[in-house]
Amino acid sequence: MNNEHRPYTLIAELTYRCPLHCPYCSNPLDFAEHGNEIDADTWLRVFHEAEELGVVQLNLTGGEPLLRDDLELLVEGARKLDLYTNLITSGIPLTSQRLSRLRALGLDSVQISIQSTRRSVADRIAGAPSFNRKLDAMRWATSLEIPLTVNVVLHRENISEIEELIALAECVSADRLELANTQYLGWALKNRAALLPTREQIERARTVAAEAKARLRGSMEVLFVTPDYYTDHPKSCMEGWGRRFIVVNPEGLALPCHLAHTIPGLRFEHVTQRRLSDIWHHSAGFNRFRGNEWLPDPCRTCERRVLDFGGCRCQAFHLSGDAGMPDPACSLAPGHDVIESARTQADRTAGIPVLFEYRTGRGRSSR
């Protein structure tokens, strides 16, 4: 096997269903039109095939994975394969009894999101009452000694709470705090005008996070993820297309990243029709943007081509219309003006409330 293209993590999107309606949801805009979810037997076979490929970590996510009645069966199957299994959840609907059962079956860690330290703001961002239940879920995790990551998707509605968010994570004894600025794709791109912070807000939050990281070293890991819109160079999306991650969506489509199937012209295959190893090695979709040989100018001769691989292919498509172009987040890329325009708009509308568009159970948005 080519170790350059060896997968380490399987991201199992078990369902698109979710009780929340976050305006930065990573579900596709037309998620309600997608097909049936693959069953537990298929997932267990996928876990086995992933482990044979070299995968060592399994992220159970969604949507809301707790809405799968067979979640316990999946966790138990992952434990038998010795996969490090992480549950990524809103914490709703969770009970202490179910979390205890999942822990006993082999769950290794849990990541729970929260939208704000203020209940009214958190519930408004989530589009549903959830704040108190999330705090309960965090406390259950620490009482069961399950390693806990508190995840906060940062945006202009909550980034000013950075000190309070850090304090909340300390209060619930989190092992890790992930302060992840919004990635502007899917619903987040639709809501970008309401979500994108100003540069001043980003810089202040980064400074506070860096101070907390130093202060809490050894007791809680603090990670601050800067949005692509405020960097000179894009991040290496998923550590490079088809290099380290496999995403399998609720229908069983194997993908190099969550939204790769939204790029027209790329062909991806279902795990119900082909073994995961065949898809990983031979799928046209996985191979299309692997490595850096495909890169256009100016990326082709850039010294960063082996670091960021041209940035995010989905972002390149959704901002420029061409997934084969350099990521417009790069300051050297053609089309970077769309990023500059978004930043200018963020400055111009700072302090002005902007309504969210929420996903609904029917897949349509509402004000």
DSSP, residue by residue, 3-69: GGG---EEEEE--S--S---TT--S-TTGGGS-PPP-HHHHHHHHHHHHHHT--EEEEESS-GGG-T
- Residue 1's pLDDT is 43
CB-based contact 356:326 (threshold 8 Å)? no
Confidence of residue 35 (pLDDT cuts 50, 70, 90): low
Q: What percent of the chain has pLDDT over 70?
A: 95
The span from the CA of 288 to the CA of 242, in Å, is 9
Q: Alpha helix locations (H) across the chain?
A: 40-53, 71-80, 96-105, 119-126, 131-143, 162-171, 187-190, 192-195, 199-215, 276-282, 284-287, 305-308, 313-320, 337-348
The span from the CA of 352 to the CA of 159, in Å, is 15
3-state SS assignment for residue 215: helix
- Which amino acid, residue 152? V
| Strand-pair partners of 247 | 11, 255
| Strand-pair partners of 59 | 11, 86
| Strand-pair partners of 255 | 247
Whole-number mean pLDDT of the chain?
A: 94
| Strand-pair partners of 230 | none
Q: Which residue has the tokens 């079956």?
A: 105
Q: Average pLDDT for residues 265-288, to the nearest whole number?
A: 97
Q: Among 198-207, 303-312, 352-361, whose mean pLDDT is lowest? A: 352-361
- Residue 361's pLDDT is 53
Residue 362 has pLDDT above 70, yes or no: no
Rg (CA), the chain: 20
User: Could you give phi then psi for residue 84, rounded to 5 degrees?
Assistant: -75, 115
pLDDT tens for 76-103 read: 999 999 999 999 999 999 999 999 999 9
Separation in Å, CA 104 to CA 94, 112, 144: 15, 19, 10
pTM, entire model: 0.95
**Residues 6 or more apart whose Cβ sits within 8 Å of residue 305:** 292, 295, 299
pLDDT tens for 227-241 read: 999 999 998 889 999
- Residue 265's pLDDT is 94
Confidence of residue 5 (pLDDT cuts 50, 70, 90): confident
- Residue 363's pLDDT is 45
- Residue 353's pLDDT is 81
